[in-house]
Amino acid sequence: MNDAASSASPGLAAGVRWDLADLYPEPAEAALERDLDAAEAAALRFAERHRGRIAGLDARALAAAIDELEALLEPSARGAAYAGLRFAADTSLPANGALLQRVQERGSAVHNAIVFFQLEWVAVDDDAAAKLLADPALARRRHLLEAMRRYRPHVLSEPEEKLIEELANTGERAFSRLFDEILAAARFRVEEAGAVRECTEEEVLALLYDPGRERRQAGAAALTAGLRQHAHVLAFVFNTLVQNKATEDRLRAYPDPMAARHLSNEIEPKSVDALLAACERAHPLVQRYYRLKRRLLGLDELLDYDRYAPVGEARGAVPWAEAQRLVLAAYRDFSPVLAEIAGRFFERRWIDAELRPGKRGGAFSAGTVPSAHPYVLLNYTGTQRDVMTLAHELGHGAHQWLAREQGLFEQDTPLTLAETASVFGEMLVFRRLLREESDPKTRLALVCGKIEDAFATVFRQVVMTRFEQMLHEARRSEGELPIERISALWMEANRPMHGDAVRLTDDYGWWWLYIPHFVHSPFYCYAYAFGELLVLALLRRYDAEGDAFVPRYLELLRAGGSEAPAVLLARLGLDVTDPAFWEGGVALLAELVEEAERLAGA
Ligand SMILES: [Zn+2]
């Protein structure tokens, strides 16, 4: 399937490539190798001095040991970030896959040399730990150390931890990489006007946003046919990873498939249950909107591939420079500080946006290390949705940039807060577009676009979470699952959201096969719903407080993962542990649907 002669064109962001020299100037290999050597040597020295002695350290010595760990891990994290980005930029180049594998293997050696630290720390008895944590010398590390101790019931012995880490390179991580390589190399044959065009995954997904129903239909058919062609291997990857997780969950005594994710998200399971339930109670709202959409499109029936059809006049493709101007202007309206940070991504080549064969699909912002800066990957095709994706990833980028001051260990937030600045950024762009637009038809198109994005971020992600729950439970009770069984679970999870307002075709049954979150980070998806509803609450604060809100918001971003989400949000007066909190966000989505109905003259 390595089709070097693919027709894929670079699209509207031709030439917009990132410059990875800030991580390693070319040729990178020698410097990267030196970093890995240095990290491994430092890790072994650290182990020589501290192994078997962590329980005996006083607060000051414990703080110094963590500082030392953070410093020694940074070069290894830099190498890993670089290898990951180079692989994402071209997954088809064998040298990039080999580099990623090498960095992972050497990263495991570093990890295994110092894993004793965490194991010895969580083994310290509670009273002694509490006394240490009360010491001002550990104030900056209190959250980190407490967070580690939550894993106390789930850690294994040192030799077991080392085995799991090392074998993951040829197990879990290898299958995850295989998934990326297959989808990046896949070509989807779109039939149009008697001719066949070979598309990448990005291009074929973009067709689902086309105003022409025949083109959407052709895109959907091509996506299905392409996925079916690879279904055997992709489903094998799913089955393997789902069982790998079941095995690890059993060994680590996690009570259910979501438990490990809740722990790393620093969220109580009952808060997640409240979030999911609040979203599911709003399914009638989703269906009410889809009935309006069917009427606006003038269709007898709304099919799955009609959900993203634009409402109203077809808007032309947005040139890259225009997308940049628009996003930066929207950021500047809110905060010049945020706009200045986002602007650097363009000026200093921290973005890779053109389409290229072999490039990873989708979009992301990678935080890298505190001594460098984040990098953003997009596949820019010029749709309105792509403009929002740019705003989204720059939100992540600005968040990661500001949180660098928390250091390597606490710069990253748990997933529950990871989608805050990204979704907030999208909202800023939406509001600016709406403010500048007086024509009711165009306003309607904008509001519909926002509703559909929000539905994809809230309700669709809740559906995906339910699908994952069913998938993991079915694999645990039924053994390896046939493709048809997984497809049936996917349809079962999707039906309650769409009801009788959208007809899901048989083709749609195959569309779980390309969702990377299921493969790379199980149970990631509810974090999107959390993020979107949280952002709606933040916007309400902003509207009430005006500019006084801005520095408080920037403080939230700067805090990174230095405290639990509920603690950071409490500083802004938000209580995410209150089940009613989520109802407030859903109510704001209902207002948007009402606005669409009003503009449509319903
Ligand atoms: Zn995101």
Distance 392 CA to ligand 1 centre (A): 6
- 341 C-alpha to ligand 1 centroid (Å): 17
What pLDDT score does 3 carry?
Answer: 32
**For residue 31, how far is its CA from the centre of ligand 1 (angstroms)?**
31
Dump pLDDT digits (tens) for 333-367: 999 999 999 999 999 999 999 999 889 888 999 99
Q: Ligand 1 centre from 395 Cα, in Å? A: 8
User: What is the SS3 assignment for 10?
Assistant: coil
Residue with tokens 């950021």: 331
- Cα 13 to middle of ligand 1, angstroms: 20
Q: What is the C-alpha separation between 584 and 317, in angstroms, rounded? A: 35
pLDDT at residue 5 tops 70? no
Ligand 1 center to 486 CA (angstroms):
26
Q: What predicted TM-score, i.e. pTM, was given to this entire model?
A: 0.91
Structure tokens at 585: 């966000």
pLDDT band at 602 (very low <50, low <70, confident <90, very high): low
pLDDT in tens, 504-527: 999 999 999 999 999 999 999 999
Q: How confident is the model at residue 401 (pLDDT cuts 50, 70, 90)?
A: very high
Cis peptide bond upstream of 522, omega within 30: no
CA torsion through residues 429, 431, 437, 443, sign: positive
- Cα→Cα distances 48→45, 124, 297, 426, 507, Å: 5, 20, 69, 49, 58
Tell me the pairing of strands 195-199 and 188-192.
antiparallel
Tell me phi and psi for residue 303, to 5 degrees: -100, 170
Contact indicator for 63, 138 with CB cutoff of 8 Å: yes
- Tell me the CA–centroid distance for residue 364 and ligand 1, in Å: 7
- The mean pLDDT value of the chain amounts to 94
**Percentage of the chain lying above the pLDDT 90 cut:** 88
1 pLDDT above the threshold of 50? no
168-202 pLDDT, tens digit per residue, is 999 999 999 999 889 989 999 999 888 999 998 98
Tell how far the Cα of 419 is from the centroid of ligand 1, in angstroms. 5
Q: How far is the CA of 57 from the centre of ligand 1 (A)?
A: 40
β-bridge partners, 189: 198
H or E, element range at 199: strand 195-199
d(CA 104, ligand 1 centre) in Å: 24
- Compute the distance from residue 527 Cα to the ligand 1 centre, in Å: 9
Compute the distance from residue 525 Cα to the ligand 1 centre, in Å: 10
The pLDDT, as a whole number, for residue 7 is 42
More confident residue, 358 or 391: 391
pLDDT confidence of 476, banded at 50, 70, 90? very high
Coil/strand/helix, residue 354: coil
Report residue 488's pLDDT band, with 50, 70 and 90 as the boundaries. Answer: very high
- Please name which of 173, 169, 177 lies closest in space to residue 96, comparing C-alpha atoms: 177
pLDDT tens digit sequence for 10-50: 889 999 999 999 999 999 999 999 999 999 999 999 999 99
How far does residue 422's CA lie from ligand 1's centre (Å)? 6
> How many A from CA of 201 to the centre of ligand 1?
19
The Å distance, Cα 314 to ligand 1 centre, comes to 27
CA 216 to centroid of ligand 1, rounded, Å: 25
pLDDT of 130-146, one tens digit each?
999 999 999 999 999 99
